A and B are shown apart, each in its own frame.
Chain A
Amino acid sequence: RKEVEQDPGPFNVPEGATVAFNCTYSNSASQSFFWYRQDCRKEPKLLMSVYSSGNEDGRFTAQLNRASQYISLLIRDSKLSDSATYLCVVNGYTGGFKTIFGAGTRLFVKA
């Protein structure tokens, strides 16, 4: 079992749609959680940090469920510019700092 697993994708959605990404992690001692966005042939960029209380930034909402070891990202009113790969990231300390990226879920938003 992978330490961080994401929906395999790709997701193909029309503009205006709502899309949800899911991510599970295996290490219950994990401490910090993020969603990063990566455009084709570019570096990853932080989209949002994820907290147990949930957090929202415009059309984006992220949620963490520590009991189920599950992270989600919701994008409302999808735009063409949202087309990218979304990476789930889990950080912690296990004999030193460790960060694990999921394999990513590719999103295509079409007109």
Chain B
Amino acid sequence: ETGVTQSPTHLIKTRGQQVTLRCSSQSGHNTVSWYQQALGQGPQFIFQYYREEENGRGNFPPRFSGLQFPNYSSELNVNALELDDSALYLCASSFSATSGETQYFGPGTRLLVL
């Protein structure tokens, strides 16, 4: 086990609603990245937080937003949910934000948008 936890494990929402997903990083890690993984695809990078600041962002619209807290846990918020937002959402923590750091993934949250 990596020590990265995510909640909830599963979630069902309807189109137009908002959702908040949570991630607790591994002890000693100050960096959290979020990913969206659709069925049969590789994880797509949403954004990364380093010491409570956004440190990089992938090609996702502004309705995907995040936070990192002083204890380095993190939230992913998605507004105005669309059917295509149905996916596995993964968070990963790392010791630092350098590009060579190993990322340790949590088990993910499965989101279904109806």
Contacts and interface: CB of A to CB of B under 8 A. Distances in A.
Interface of A is mostly: strand
Contacts of A34: 102
Contact of B45 (A44, A93, A99): A99
Interface residues of A, number: 23
A97 B44 contact: no
Interface residues on B, range: 20 to 34
A20 interface: no
Contact of B99 (A44, A46, A92): A92
B56 A96 contact: yes
A44 B90 contact: yes
A98 B45 CA distance: 7
A49 B99 contact: no
Nearest to A51: B100
A66 to B, nearest CB: 14
Interface string B98-114: 01101111111000000
B58 interface: yes
Interface of A: 31-32, 34, 42-46, 49, 87, 91-93, 95-104
Interface of B: 2, 33, 35, 40-45, 48, 50, 54-58, 90, 97, 99-100, 102-108
